[in-house]
A and B are shown apart, each in its own frame.
Chain A
Amino acid sequence: MLDNFLMDLKLVQSELVLLGGGLILLLMTLFPKRSKEFFPLFSVGIILMAFAVLFIPSGSWNSVDGMQGFFASLEASPLSQSFRGYFLALAAFVLLVGGSITIEKEKTAPEGYSLILFSITGGALLLSANDFFVAFVALEMMSLSLYAYVAFWSDGANAKEAAMKYFITGAVSSSFFLMGVAFIYGLTGACQFDEIANLMKLESETFLSSPLWYLGIGFLLAGLGFKMALAPFHLWVPDVYQGASTQSLLLIGVLPKLATLGFSILLLKGPFSLVYEELGVAITFLAVLSMGWGALGALTQRNFRRLMGYSAVANMGFVAIGLLPGDEISLASMNYLLIYSIGFVAVIGLVAYLQNQGLSLETVDDFVYVRQVPEAYRLLLALLMFSLAGVPPLAGFFGKFVVFKHALQHGYTFAVFAGIFVSVVSAAYYLRIIKALYFDALPEGTEGLVAETPLRQSFLVYRLSNLASVGLAAITILFAFVLSFL
């Protein structure tokens, strides 16, 4: 009995580490006198520890073979383990960049970081769920903490609007998800993924002819689509991206998307594998709509943050192309999302860093002022923009390439052509930033206006934010070589 329990505990080791870290941070509110660097560094350390602990059940990276525990409500398959690994690594990156950049502007409170750790716990739990109950609770754990974190830094009208919108749309999406679960439970009488998959094989005739089945999957996809900001469900994105603080933007722009995408892949490969083929049309619809709407929306934006929001919607469209059904387990979408997320974190982090230097980078036209800081930043920004647009030697191109290759191999020509068309259109708004960076003239009278405000930043913060953004940019660029071996 106890042995069983200890074996089961191996499945949640990383979650337990994260949870413990969050609770310790909560206790630290009793001793508030600590240096500002402490809390972000502590959280990053906790996440790295969870990352290290993640692979203990197997002993090696990819050799876990469907280990289940807690009455089969959790499962650690190679796929889910690697997703959790990506998730935790990206979370550490995000906290390193965000924490070091926002340290000066925002008050450092341990409870904020404990909320972040709880949210990451939820995300990691979601990726190992083998049961709809666990999945829903984990999804709620992840999103509730994020709503609270966004509202935590909401000073000013825009920020309050962002917090409110994020909370309400998130609540609606959760209810959609739950509705889908209810339909599927009503049809099959099972909540465990294995049971559903077995029932599907046994009674596929009954299920596939039932409208409840498709209604359930539709509601589930809608709920997950809200979290992933896919097109008909993306309406919260621009306002939230504009209003949220930098740290919250980095978190909500990256973590829920990765966790829900990983969960969707696990769902489509597991309990819904028999209907996966038939969902091709629906996924194509979502993908094309997201890409088109996102690209057209971004074209008309002057505000940089809103532009990044619409570009996120368009990029999630490309991710959805990678999600189209194929023969073998294809990770094209996860690849694309990882490359995009690293680029996104690098861009937002770099821009926030430059804003800390005293530059005002609200609109796209403001990017002319970037030439007032050292040349390297301008070059980095331009390279990142080229990478997001998908120009060949950079990582963004390889992400798109892998996605398109996957879709072409399985005969989704329409989605591929729509994707290529949209990436040409979307190059326009990335190029507009590059035009402002290199080709626009500085406005009259501002040539000498170099940002000379001395930064009240400690050595560590300065080094960290520099290091993180430059390092991420380098990774974005170098990713090309890694992926070219695939």
Chain B
Amino acid sequence: MAGLVFYGLAGLTLLSAMAVVFARSPVYAVLFLILSFFTSAGIFLLLDAEFLAMVLVIVYVGAVAVLFLFVVMMLDVDQKHLEKLRHYPWKSFFKAALRSGVLAGVFLGVFYMAKQLWGDKVVFLSDEGPLTHSFILAAMSFAVAYALYWPLSKWRFLLPSESAETVAWVEGALQFLIFAGVMTYVLFGAPSLEIKKEVFDAGGAPLSTTDALSHLLYSVYVIPFQGVGVILVVAIVAAIALCLRHRPGVRRQDVQHQLKTTKEDVLSLSQPKVGKGVEWTSR
């Protein structure tokens, strides 16, 4: 059951992340980004890391993504440039997808063969081993990355280098490494988290990570925690004090002045004579 939910969420994350790339309107792209944040928060929940999930939603969705949205709405996006994106080379995409699928299949085949041969002896390769999941996910992400980057190489204007294929390979390999690293960390790190939880578990039900974290933050680390709060105050004061300066010669809006302005201050009526025009008087 948990596996089903996980693959559903992961698939949705991947789909919405792809939609971020492919959405023609940048606003839609940011909205898809928010969706992918939500689904990754769901994955965090599955991993019993509900604090991380909430932080992801509050910080990234509530603050960062909304800022993104503001910025995107303020940008003057050139629609004509976007038109070029419409003619996506589907043919080469399918070719590349086929190729990367075969490649991922080869990877997985080699991996399973190794597992069959040495699965009893090497812990990494056993069913509980952390490498299994990370390897499958990494192979999947590699395949997706390869399938995406290959057709991109047809569009030279999007890529910095001439040999676009190399770029695609490099990026795919990078994704592979990143994904493998993250997954290994998550799966290796989880047991140590369990140990930390046991420290604060006073014989009853195991604490959630939020409980464990808050116990730590408000007991052992209360001074650094509050100190960081003071530092944030300092940062806010500094940012406001450094940016809000009333320099002479700088035009700025003065609401009080605007509100107090009357008709007599800004409006003057005159009766111009024919052919003379109105004389300009600056206030």
Contact = CB atoms under 8 A, between A and B. Distances in A.
Interface in A91-114: 109, 111-112, 114
Nearest to A25: B237
B224 A111 contact: no
B218 to A, nearest CB: 11
A120 to B, nearest CB: 12
Given A118-B230, A118-B233, A148 B224 contact: no
Interface in A40-73: 70-71, 73
B105 interface: no
Contacts of A112: 241
A73 B222 CA distance: 9
Given A74-B223, A115-B241, 20 more contacts: A19-B230, A26-B233, A26-B237, A70-B222, A73-B222, A111-B237, A112-B241, A115-B234, A122-B227, A122-B230, A131-B223, A133-B224, A134-B224, A136-B224, A137-B228, A140-B231, A144-B235, A151-B238, A152-B238, A152-B241
Interface of B: prevailing SS: helix
B243 to A, nearest CB: 11
Nearest to A26: B237
Contact of A141 (B222, B227, B238, B241): B227
Given A148-B242, A151-B242, A137 B227 contact: yes
B220 A71 contact: yes
A211 B51 CA distance: 37
Nearest to B236: A26
B221 interface: yes
B221 A73 contact: yes
A137 B219 contact: no
A469 interface: no
B223 A73 contact: yes
18 contacts: A12-B223, A73-B220, A73-B224, A111-B241, A112-B241, A115-B234, A122-B227, A122-B230, A133-B221, A134-B223, A137-B227, A137-B228, A138-B227, A140-B231, A141-B227, A141-B231, A144-B234, A151-B238
A122 B231 CA distance: 9
Given A12-B223, A73-B223, A148-B241, A137 B231 contact: yes
A145 interface: yes
Contact of B234 (A109, A118, A138, A151): A118
Interface string A110-154: 011011001001100100000101101110110011011001100
Nearest to B230: A141
A73 to B, nearest CB: 5
A148 B228 contact: no
A151 B231 CA distance: 17
Residue among B220, B222, B230 facing the most chain A CB atoms (10 A cut-off): B230
Interface of B: 219-224, 227-228, 230-231, 233-235, 237-238, 240-242
B234 A148 contact: yes
A148 B231 contact: no
Contacts of B238: 115, 144-145, 147-148, 151-152
Contacts of B222: 70-71, 73
Interface of A: 12, 19, 23, 26, 70-71, 73-74, 109, 111-112, 114-115, 118, 121-122, 125, 131, 133-134, 136-138, 140-141, 144-145, 147-148, 151-152
Given A118-B230, A121-B230, A141-B230, A148 B223 contact: no
Contact of A115 (B220, B223, B237): B237
Nearest to A136: B224
Contacts of A148: 234, 237-238, 241-242
A108 to B, nearest CB: 13
Contacts of A70: 222-223
Contacts of A122: 227, 230
A71 B218 CA distance: 11
A147 B220 CA distance: 29
B82 to A, nearest CB: 39
Contacts of A111: 237, 240-241
Contacts of A144: 231, 234-235, 238
A122 B228 CA distance: 11
Contacts of A12: 223
Nearest to B221: A133
